[in-house]
Chain A
Amino acid sequence: MTRLSSAQRHLVRFTLNGKPVQGEAEPRLLLTDFLRQTIGATGTHVGCEHGVCGACTITVDGELARACLTLAVQIDGCELRTVEGLAPAPDRLGVLQAAFRRNHALQCGFCTAGILMSLDHYLRAHPKPSEAEIRDLLSGHLCRCTGYTPIVQAALEAAAELAELSRSDHRDV
């Protein structure tokens, strides 16, 4: 049994987008605030802080998670992926990101980090999604700018492009 006192900060070690990182957190610190304020990874956005809007969606050990409904101390030893891990290089967008840009799938961009993470996770497991499946997945996110249609379009385009790339044996997402 491990007991972490509320009055202290505790060391949390984890892997962020393939790199080992660590920081200190009180038990009550949310993963959103830990990532943004302690680690300095501000790509993950904070919206509603009760799991509804989806802006803070990331993956923990390969599964989708709301960072605002996760405690920093819970991810000790876990592998996290955030939006910072999507681009193949600092000056290059990934296939999904580029499709978002082409289709105007974002305006203010507040919801985008979470939506990209959900879609990236989903497309890895479902290379040929239907529009209905994409819309069902997007029901876990709120976007107040786009009306969702360009996001769906971008997701379907990215899926088609990724399928093409995997046929020509590129592995770069």
Chain B
Amino acid sequence: MKPAAFDYVRAETLGEAIEVLAQHGGDARIIAGGQSLMAMLNMRLARPKVLIDIMRLRELDRIDSTSGSVKIGAGVRQAALLAWPELATSLPLLSKALPWTGHAQTRSRGTVCGSLAHADPSAELPLALVALGGELHLRSAGKQRKVAAREFFAGMMATARADDELIEAVSFPSGNARCAFREVARRHGDFAIVACAAVATKDGVRFAVGGVADVPTARDWPRLEGSALDDALNGFAHELDARDDVHATARYRRDLVRLIGRDLVREVLQ
């Protein structure tokens, strides 16, 4: 299918992009790499009147590593982050999850922030952001704010971003080497049937699941072992309210959460 008609705006500065967004609000959409939005436009699931292209804004194409966090601008493509020499040491969870995000042919165009903006419940980047407890940097005319990952994802493909706000960057806490990621999909690079991430915390472990509930969901647990871990995973698997769909049954999804969860939690608590 083909997109409905829209005006196309190529912004040269961040101010211009914000200004046009303020004028049109919900009738405008930001386009960066376009790997999620263009499919939505083609299927007419999105019908903006104005499309604002931000890929010529050099100021958004940067990765800033400071003590404790890595800030990734809205213009940074997934392939660029994957090729970032510090990725494995600064963001080990992302170095494990990012190769599962789409395919080489889509990572070359798709941006990190674009995947977060799209908020597909089975996408890897939102899951990693929730697992690590990162935050989004949002900007509108005359206002900036930060939103924590858990508040940002509001539902299936719904976020806390207001219509006049642009995602300027995302920050991931850096360093934590004790982390694990695993995904089950029909084909490598397809959306996950279940994707899981585990990250060691001060008191135990944070375990996060994507592809099951409407949003990536995390639980913080103390150091759990044996049947206590099995019980926690079983309770979590049911709380996620899995549903049957064309890809998998709810029961299969719960099984995957329990099985992958046990492996990953054990791995990071070792």
Residues in A lying within 8 Å of B, measured CB to CB: 1-7, 26-28, 30, 33, 49-51, 54, 57, 63-66, 68-71, 73-74, 118, 122, 136-137, 139-141
Task: Tell me if A28 and B9 are in contact (CB < 8 A).
Answer: no
Task: Tell me if B43 and A140 are in contact (CB < 8 A).
Answer: no
In the bound complex, CA of A54 to CA of B9 (Å): 27
In the bound complex, CA of A77 to CA of B190 (Å): 32
A112 to chain B, nearest CB (A): 15
Residues in B lying within 8 Å of A, measured CB to CB: 1-13, 16, 20, 34-35, 38-39, 41-43, 49, 51, 53, 55, 79, 102-106, 108-109, 187-189
Task: Tell me if A140 and B103 are in contact (CB < 8 A).
Answer: yes
Task: Tell me if B7 and A57 are in contact (CB < 8 A).
Answer: no
A105 to chain B, nearest CB (A): 18
Known: A49-B42, A50-B42. A27 touches B8 (CB 8 A): yes
Q: List 6 A-B contacts (CB under 8 A).
A: A1-B12, A6-B8, A51-B39, A63-B109, A69-B35, A69-B109
In the bound complex, CA of A73 to CA of B31 (Å): 13
In the bound complex, CA of A54 to CA of B188 (Å): 14
Task: Tell me if A64 and B38 are in contact (CB < 8 A).
Answer: no
Task: Tell me if B2 and A69 are in contact (CB < 8 A).
Answer: no
Closest 4 CB pairs of A and B: A140-B103, A27-B8, A50-B39, A69-B38
Task: Tell me if A139 and B189 are in contact (CB < 8 A).
Answer: yes
Q: Which residue of B10, B43, B108 is within 8 Å of A64 (Cβ)?
A: B108
Write out the residue numbers on chain A whose beta carbons fall within 8 Å of the beta carbon of B43: 50
Task: Tell me if A68 and B105 are in contact (CB < 8 A).
Answer: no
Write out the residue numbers on chain A whose beta carbons fall within 8 Å of the beta carbon of B16: 1
In the bound complex, CA of A33 to CA of B2 (Å): 10
14 more contacts with CB within 8 A, not counting A1-B13, A6-B7, A140-B102, are: A2-B12, A4-B9, A6-B5, A27-B8, A63-B79, A64-B109, A65-B108, A66-B106, A69-B38, A70-B38, A70-B109, A136-B188, A139-B103, A139-B187
